[in-house]
Amino acid sequence: MLPFSIELRPGLPLTEQIVYAVKKAVVSGQMRPGDTFPSVRQLSQDLRINPNTAHKVIAALVQEKVLITTPAVGSLVAAPEDGNRKERAALLGLELERAVVEAKRLGLTLDEVRDGLEIHWKKLSPPTQK
């Protein structure tokens, strides 16, 4: 069994969908730092995807520092990075802009958007941090 929830939808590149599902599982606490991550083989068998795709998923997650690979153990969920918060916040810029455009189009107020954001924020927060 895979340690994260995913339902693959047609149309979107598989790699993107799986990478997103893993990130979501990590931020929501479904997977914790130090947990072992499924191998290429398990990922492809369980999702019935091409091992090439499974390989790309793990490579992308390692590159984005969501996972770390160790020769003996395989892949592990990485500890969250301290790094440069400003840089990381900048990465979110485009996504936020889109949400704002959509919200304005729907005629929502900033408070309403904040409320909506907060609901999602809480939903994805690991149970221990509540």
Partner 1 sequence: MNVIETHQLSRRFGRLEAVHGLDLVVPKGVVFALLGPNGAGKSTTIKMLMNLLPSTSGTAQVLGVDSRKLSPRELARIGYVAESMDLPEWMTVRQFLDYCRPFYPTWDTALEKKLLADFELPEPRKLKHLSRGMRMKTALIAALAYHPELLILDEPFSGLDPVVRDDFTRGLIEVSAQGEWTIFVSSHDIEDIERLADWIGVIENGRLRFAEELESLQRRFRRIEVTRASTTPAPQTRPATWLNYEESGLMARFIDSDYAVGDTEKRCADIFPGGTVTATPVPLREIYVTLAHASRGKAA
Residues that bind partner 1 (CB under 8 A): 8-15, 40-41, 44-45, 47-53, 94, 105
Task: State the minimum distance, in angstroms, from the CB of residue 101 to partner 1.
Answer: 9
36-37: strand order across its sheet: 36-37, 74-77, 67-70
Task: State the minimum distance, in angstroms, from the CB of residue 128 to partner 1.
Answer: 35
* Beta strands per DSSP E along 57-130: 67-70, 74-77
In the bound state with partner 1, the residue whose beta carbon lies nearer, of 15 and 26, is 15
Spatial distance between the Cα atoms of 32 and 25, rounded to a whole number of angstroms: 9
In the bound state with partner 1, the residue whose beta carbon lies nearer, of 50 and 125, is 50
Task: State the minimum distance, in angstroms, from the CB of residue 19 to partner 1.
Answer: 12
- Residue holding tokens 């520092």? 65
In the bound state with partner 1, the residue whose beta carbon lies nearer, of 14 and 62, is 14
- Residue holding tokens 């931020």? 27
